[in-house]
Amino acid sequence: MSATEESISMAIIAARAAAEIKATSITAIDVSERLVLTDAFVVVSGSTERQVRAIVDAVEEAVERAGHPRLRREGLDGEAHWVLLDFGEIMVHVQQDADREFYALEKLWADCPLIELPSDIHATPDAEASPLAQYFDFSSLGN
């Protein structure tokens, strides 16, 4: 069973909110067949602690405004290297670039299908040219 329409919609809302705060990389992964806790991961990056905090605020506001309250939040204390937002059907991972590269969640969950995000959701042009964005380039998968 793949992610529900509601989960995909929530993932798109979260991804769009992160894009508006200029997240440096945005990916949505359907983990529903491998994980019973949630349907999807949305993984986004920020280049600094301040940007990670801004992305977290924007995602929480957007998803909660759409009627999906946050159940838990972890990692915002301290330097906010990796913040996990649990909305039940989706979990949003907001990481600083170095942590994202080190933990490589996309590679850990590479056997799970990606959720296609609308074309208006993308990282900033500068970020798409970064080595981190190239590291997470999955454009050749599924073709």
The whole-angstrom separation of Cα 22 and Cα 47 is 10
Q: Which pLDDT value is given to residue 120?
A: 87
Q: Give the predicted TM-score (pTM) of the model.
A: 0.84
Q: Between these two residues, 136 and 84, which has the higher pLDDT value?
A: 84
Indicate if the pLDDT at residue 70 is higher than 80: yes
Q: Residue 34, Cα to own-chain centre: how many angstroms?
A: 18
**Which residues contact residue 105 at a Cβ distance below 8 angstroms, ignoring those fewer than 6 apart?**
29, 41, 43, 93
Mean pLDDT of 100-126: 86
User: Which one-letter DSSP state was computed for residue 114?
Assistant: B
Local structure of 115: helix, strand or coil: coil
pLDDT bin (cut points 50, 70, 90) of residue 123 is low
Using DSSP bridges, classify how beta strands 40-46 and 82-86 pair: parallel, antiparallel or unpaired. unpaired
